[in-house]
Each structure stands twice: as C-alpha cells, then as structure tokens.
Amino acid sequence: MLIRSFFTNSVGTLVSRIFGFIRDLLTASILGANIYSDIFFVAFKFPNLFRRIFAEGAFTQSFIPSFIKTPLKSLFTFRVTVQFLSFLIAFSLLVTLFSDFFAKIIALGFDEQTIALAAPLVAINFYYLPLIFIVTLLGSLLQYKHHFATTAFSTALLNIGMIGALLLFENWDKRTIVYALSYGVLVGGVLQVIAHLITIGKYRLYKLFIVGYHAYGKKEQHIEATNKQFNRSFFHSIVGNSTPQIVSFVDTTLASFLISGSISYLYYGNRIFQLPLALFAIALTTGIFPRITRLLKNNDETNALALVHKGFWILAFLLSTSTLGGYLLSDEIIALLFERGAFSHEDTLNTGFVLSMYMIGLLPFGLSKLFSLWLYAQMRQKEAAKIAIIALTCNLVFSFTLIKPMGAAGLALAGSLSGMVLFIFTLRSFGMKRFLAILLTQKLIFLAIVLLLEAGVLIWLKEILHVYL
C-alpha cells in the first residue's frame, strides 16, 4: 500500500512537473528574466503560495483526522465547504478592490509604476484560490478512499492552461502575454475542479454534500466541538506546514529590492528545488498520512513507527542523492533547461548559484515533512506551528544577514538554514530516541557509500558538460 500510493503520487507529480518545466521553458524563452517576468511571478505568488499550503498538506492534515473522528461526516464536510468557500470568494473580491495594496505587500521594493502594472495581474490570479480549495477538499475525500491519482495528475492541468496561453500569445507584446498567462491560471483551475468532480461522482461521494445540505442548520450542535477543533488545527497546520512556501514568499518580497531579474532567478531556482521535494517528500507523506492517522487513533504505535521507518529510508536515499546532484550540477541544470531565447548565460549563472543554495535545504525540509506527520496525526498542530514560527524567525535573521553579501543566493541559503532549524525542532518533538533507532542501522553506511560514489560520477560528468555548455 505504501509503495503503491507513493508511486501513484510520484508519477502524477512527475507528469505535472514535466508540464511545469515545459511551461517554465516557454516562459523563460518568451519573457526572459526582466520586469515583465518579475511582475507575473509576483502576481502568481499569492495563489501559488496558497495552492501549496492547501494542496500540499495543511488542509488535508487537519481535515482527515477531524473527518475520521466525527460521526456526522456529511454535515461536517458541507459546513467546511460553505465556511471556506464563502471566505475565499469574499477575500478574492477584496483583493480585486485593493489590488494595488496587495501587490505592494508582495513586492515592497517595486516603484509605483511597476506596482500599477502588477496590480491587475494580482487580482486576476487571486481567483485561483477558491478553485484550488474545491480541488483540495475533493482530493481529501478521495484520499480517505485511498484514491490519489486524480489529485496527483490534475496539477498538470494548471500547467497545460498556462502553456496554452503562452503558445497562443507567443508573438504578442510582453504585457499582453502576462495577462494571457494569468487567465491561463484560471482556466487550469477550472479544469482541475472538473477532473475532481468526475472522480467524486465515480466514488459516489456527492451524497456527502446532499445529506450535509439537508442537515445544515439542524444538527449544528452535534459537530460544534469537531468544527472548533478543525478550525484550530487548520490554523496551526497552515503555519506548521507552510515554512518553505512562506520562506519563498519572504524571498520574493526582499528580492524586489535587488537588481531587476532577481525575483525570476529565485523563481526558477525554487522551481528546480521544489521538484524532488514534491516528487518524493510530498508524494510519500500524502500517501501514508491517512494510514498513520488511523493507526495512531487505534493506539497502534508500533505499526505507525514502522511506516515512518520505511518512509525515512526511502526519502533519505532519494533526497540526499538529489541534493548532491542539484548542488554539483546547478549551473548545468539551469543551462540545459532555460538558457535560450531571452534567457542569457549571465541569467544561468545567477540562477545556478541560487539553485545550489536552495538544494542545501532539500533534505531537512523533506524529512521535516515526514516527521511532522506524527504531530499532525496526533492533532498536535499547535506544537508544529510553534516550531515553524521559530524556523521563520531564524529565516528572517538569516535573510537580512545574507542578502547584502550574496544577493538573491543569500535569500536561498537563508531558507535552507531555516529548514535545518525546522528539522532539528521537529525531531525533538517526534523524539530523538525514536529517530536514532531509525537512523543508526546498516543502511546509514550504505547511504554514505552511495553518496561518495555519486559525488565521483557527478564531478566527472560536470567536467564533460563544461566542454559542451
């Protein structure tokens, strides 16, 4: 079951990321790294931040334990739907009315003229939020049924919508292209919703909403305690689960004070960093979370720990080898993927430096996601939130320390260092004795040998690529 769900999520994520890289290749080639690419990435930052927070753990890790616990599942599901959807639609309308203000929050370093260019795009992109909430809610219900494929593969639809916009408007002026990209985001969101609605129908889960609608307002007192607990745990999960995303958001804000193109360097570097994080860490933790929650609810800690043990070594091998490859071949990866059209060799070097600094944090961020499952399954979201706040505070200190000597790459390194802080404190809450029992096995020696061999191969490969690139 673990391998099957991991494989399904990984393949779906890989397909999505392939389309994502096609999108990024086109974006880099057509827009390059300049003020227009910067303003689009600023506009896309809010919905992308919330997409990752919602879709990559925070909502699901609060919803599923509450859903399993409550006897009135239909009413609870319908109430959560109404509550969240109403708030997000109202929030999106608010952003439309005050788009200049929200654009300035994301990019404090932009001048008034650039803010005026970015503001309408911020408003358009923000309407992706209600769509991604629907996708995440329906995806959580499908996870409860142990169906992961639709959610894993549907993210590709967002990228397809944006690719379509780039191809259709390739020869237009850059201002029109960034508008087309923004509407492409909404088209992709609608396609994701449709895909989930079709699958929900196949699993006959519409009855949850129908029964919940008829019970709404009649039996509210029976789920009041569950709803309050869910709201509290969701708030804490947002903070505890979204450290990499909030770090990226802070990076964008600070990078707006740097030279033109810095936001784009961070975006492209972060995109590469997010690939193994999503492909391995998020895919695996998404697959095993419902099982760990059920096991701990039934006081079966032995089997729950066995799942964590198995998941740890899968991630340790995959993430550590990815870290080494991404760090040593950072320039070569960026050159192969993006150096064409409007994306220059100087852009490659700047982005490669950023990528190498991001890769340092891949292993701690990925393993933090695994060990934090233990806290979320036990409804210890508040504890996870406190850990995340400590890591974010450290990130701010590191960012202000490193931005001057290292520029955009300093922001990436600050994020990686904060990931290490997050990992250390998460381990402390999980239990160092439990962790050492998992770590200190013969697999650790085998991993060290694999990494030494990989380093030799990569250094040799780097020399060969240097001749041709």
Residue-wise pLDDT for 70-101, tens only, equals 778 888 888 888 888 998 899 889 988 988 88
Rounded Cα distance between 274 and 326, Å, is 11
Name the helix (H) or strand (E) containing 377: helix 362-377
The yes-or-no verdict on residue 113 having pLDDT over 70 is yes
What pLDDT score does 114 carry? 78
pTM above 0.75, yes or no: no
Residue-wise pLDDT for 330-349, tens only, equals 999 999 888 877 788 888 99
Residues 203, 145 contacting (CB under 8 angstroms) = yes
Residues 108-120 have a mean pLDDT of: 77
Residues 32-48 have a mean pLDDT of: 75
Residue-wise pLDDT for 238-248, tens only, equals 766 666 667 77
Question: How many other CB atoms sit within 10 Å of the CB of residue 86?
Answer: 11
Structural domain of residue 252, as residue ranges? 2-468
**Higher pLDDT pick, 252 / 299:** 299
Residue-wise pLDDT for 271-298, tens only, equals 899 889 988 888 888 778 878 887 887 8
The yes-or-no verdict on residue 423 having pLDDT over 70 is yes
What pLDDT score does 147 carry? 84
Q: Which two tokens stand for residue 386?
A: 């406190």
What pLDDT score does 3 carry? 67
Among the residue ranges 133-137, 272-276, 462-466, the one predicted with the least confidence is: 462-466
How many domains are there within the chain? 1
Residues 342, 264 contacting (CB under 8 angstroms) = no
